[in-house]
Amino acid sequence: MVEGNRPWDIGRFLQTLVYFDVIPCLGWVMRLLQGHEENDGKNEPGGKMQVVLVAGATGGVGKRVVQRLVERGYKVRSLVRDADRARALLGDKVELYVGDITKPETLTSKMMANVSAVVCCTAVRVQPVEGDTPDRDKYYQGVKFYQPEIVGDTPERVEYLGVKHLVQAAVPYLSRSTEIIFDFAAPSKDLPDIWGVVDDVVMGGVSESGIHLVGNTALFAGNVSTANSGGFASVRTRNFESPLSLTGYDGIELRVKGDGKRYKFIIRSDPRWDGTAFSYSFDTIDNSWIDVRIPFAQLVPVFRAKTLRDSPPIDLSNIYSFQLMLSKFEYDGELNPKFEPGSFALQVESIRAYGGMTKPKFVLVSSAGVTRPGRAGINLEEEPPAVRLNDQLGGILTWKLKGEDSVRESGVPYTIIRPCALTEEPGVQALIFDQGDNIKGKVSRDSVAELCVQVLEQPKACNVTFEVKQAQGSDRLPQWEQLFEQLQPDVSFCNYETTT
Ligand SMILES: NC(=O)c1ccc[n+]([C@@H]2O[C@H](COP(=O)([O-])OP(=O)(O)OC[C@H]3O[C@@H](n4cnc5c(N)ncnc54)[C@H](OP(=O)(O)O)[C@@H]3O)[C@@H](O)[C@H]2O)c1
């Protein structure tokens, strides 16, 4: 059915141009005239897709992990016990969740939603027997030895049960092999700042659509009309502030419930409003939830709905925007066989990337020496204080080892980092990795924090436990690839495979 001519709505046309900053100054002038505040340009997702939860974010290593993750463009969520202290320490770029790993009821699904990796830097509180003062606190233990004691919770509760609670709370969120990009089941509140409408009004048509949060989904719905030679409705993200990298993934997975119609998902690695786009058509099943996989290899390069024969492939390292569309047309004038003018509705629960290599999703900062208390052939005189004083410190290393075990047994891809004595020395030094729990030495908290961030991007660090210390007499930065290359996966876990 072809509809006739209807009056064209220039107001909506201008709104679209303004929303997407198609004519940059126009948007600014309109916002000024309408008295709207300037958009801060913070369009999700952008940069890294991952939301990383840092437990122990107020600690010596944890605060540095947070800082480094923020600098790399991760979205950081911090599990803290004192929100005011944490805010003062960590700044306002991180989300704070108040919780306590010894109290599993505080490790909520809200805190875990969207999280794609956890870095755990928690520790039982150890302080000098004489009391904690700024010039004698535990951060100076690496410089000068003070007789330590445990204060507050026991090592069993923090180092073992706490870590176990945290990893168990994370399992449902970390055992998928896909990476979340948009999770409308737990959306950030700025959906209207990210997704906007692009209907055929931009070409004189009168179709009308919108996107709204309904239940745990985003509902793309409206009315598509062929009047005025129109025939499409769509919603598109504004360009991500920093382009998204999907390098290493095979494609996009949409979880959708539709109405039996055929839709398009469009990806752009060209920041221009009207440049080359990469499109994929997919069919929905009326009133049924389905997972639609969109392999990057099957994306069709297009300019509007015309296919481009000689287009370079999509640049997966620079993805600027996504678009969902219902159109009368397929490509090059072909008609969409499932198109009917009139109302339509497509619910979207999530947009994920699939097919990436498995990378560590739970990083635990443990300690060198955890297997040494009671080990045959150990000369305690030569061991670091934590090993010598393990019994006096409530079995701290013994419980740390049990905490490690709970991570190894969880089924989540993990890395367990066992630093030697931690120091406050600034900067990242050359490092030595070892396995088998035999090395002694020291390493800066800055180095360990950087290491935590590095392993998140390292498939070779998956299901690996290793010790780390500073290489003496070298001012070279760590050669990350070489260091990770030498690591062996933990024997009983090296055949781990993720499930979707
Ligand atoms: N010190 C060393 O020489 C050495 C050597 C090897 C390995 N390590 C290990 O390296 C890791 C990092 O050390 P660090 O010096 O950065 O530790 P840290 O400064 O003592 O920080 C510990 C963090 O854990 C948090 N925490 C403690 N109990 C908690 C609970 N029940 N729930 C939630 N958070 C809790 C603390 O929060 P609050 O701020 O609220 O207290 C703090 O943020 C630890 O596992 C440590 O054992 C240390």
Quote the ligand 1 centre to 67 CA distance (angstroms).
16
Domain boundary among 309, 334, 351: 351
Residue nearest to atom 33 of ligand 1 (CA): 100
Q: Report if residue 171 sits inside a domain.
A: yes
Q: Report if residue 300 sits inside a domain.
A: yes
Q: Report if residue 390 sits inside a domain.
A: yes
pLDDT digits (tens, 9 = 90+) for 255-271: 999 999 999 999 999 99
Structure tokens at 111: 């805190």
Q: Report if residue 112 sits inside a domain.
A: yes
Name the DSSP letter for residue 138.
G
Mean of pLDDT values over 428-450: 96
Residue nearest to atom 25 of ligand 1 (CA): 56
Name the CA radius of gyration of the chain, rounded. Answer: 27
Structure tokens at 303: 């300019």
Quote the ligand 1 centre to 427 CA distance (angstroms).
19
Domain boundary among 351, 369, 400: 351
Q: Bridge partners of 75?
A: 51
Q: Pairing mode, if any, of strands 321-327 and 277-283?
A: unpaired
pLDDT digits (tens, 9 = 90+) for 18-40: 677 665 555 555 554 554 444 44
Q: Is the CB of 132 under 6 A from ligand 1?
A: no
Q: What pTM, to 2 d.p., does this model score? A: 0.78
Instruction: Please determine, for residue 335, whether its predicted confidence score (pLDDT) is greater than 70.
Output: yes
Compute the distance between CA of residue 185 and CA of residue 349 in angstroms, rounded to an integer.
6
Are 299 and 366 in the same domain? no
Quote the ligand 1 centre to 260 CA distance (angstroms).
53
Q: Report if residue 500 sits inside a domain.
A: no
Give the pLDDT band (50/70/90) at residue 499: very low
CB-based contacts of 28, cutoff 8 Å, min separation 6: 38
Q: Which amino acid is at 441?
A: G
Percent of the chain at pLDDT exceeding 70: 87
Residue nearest to atom 5 of ligand 1 (CA): 421
| 423 CA closest ligand 1 atom index | 3
CATH number at 215 reads 2.60.120.430
pLDDT digits (tens, 9 = 90+) for 218-252: 999 999 999 988 999 999 999 988 788 898 899 99
Q: Report if residue 221 sits inside a domain.
A: yes
Specify whether the CB–CB gap between 187 and 160 falls below 8 A: no
Are 279 and 296 in the same domain? yes
Distance spanning both ends of the chain, measured CA to CA: 42
Q: Is the CB of 166 under 6 A from ligand 1?
A: no
Are 396 and 469 in the same domain? yes
CATH number at 380 reads 3.40.50.720
- Which of 276, 189, 197, 199 lies closest to 238, judged by CA? 197
171-190 burial code (b ≥16 CB/10 A, e <16): eebbeeebbbbbbbbebbee
Mean of pLDDT values over 279-292: 98
Are 366 and 480 in the same domain? yes
Compute the distance between CA of residue 394 and CA of residue 392 in angstroms, rounded to an integer.
6
Q: Is the CB of 56 under 6 A from ligand 1?
A: yes
Are 382 and 487 in the same domain? yes
Are 59 and 126 in the same domain? yes
- Which of 448, 364, 373 lies closest to 409, judged by CA? 364
Are 317 and 410 in the same domain? no
Are 377 and 412 in the same domain? yes
Three-state secondary structure readout of 297-361:
HHCEEEECCEECCCCCCCCCCCECEEEEEEECECCCCCECCCCCCEEEEEEEEEEEEECCCCCCC
Give the pLDDT band (50/70/90) at residue 190: low
Instruction: Please determine, for residue 108, whether its predicted confidence score (pLDDT) is greater than 80.
Output: yes
Q: Is the CB of 59 under 6 A from ligand 1?
A: yes
Are 407 and 467 in the same domain? yes
Compute the distance between CA of residue 149 and CA of residue 245 in angstroms, rounded to an integer.
46
pLDDT digits (tens, 9 = 90+) for 70-89: 998 888 999 999 999 999 99
Q: Report if residue 498 sits inside a domain.
A: no
| 369 CA closest ligand 1 atom index | 6
Name the DSSP letter for residue 457.
T
Quote the ligand 1 centre to 140 CA distance (angstroms).
14
Number of domains in the chain: 2
Q: Is the CB of 102 under 6 A from ligand 1?
A: yes
| 103 CA closest ligand 1 atom index | 31
Are 307 and 452 in the same domain? no
Are 222 and 293 in the same domain? yes
Q: Report if residue 310 sits inside a domain.
A: yes
Q: Which residue has the tokens 């024997």?
A: 491
Domain that holds residue 258: 10-37+182-351
Are 249 and 310 in the same domain? yes
Domain boundary among 318, 351, 384: 351
Give the pLDDT band (50/70/90) at residue 138: low
Q: Is the CB of 421 under 6 A from ligand 1?
A: yes
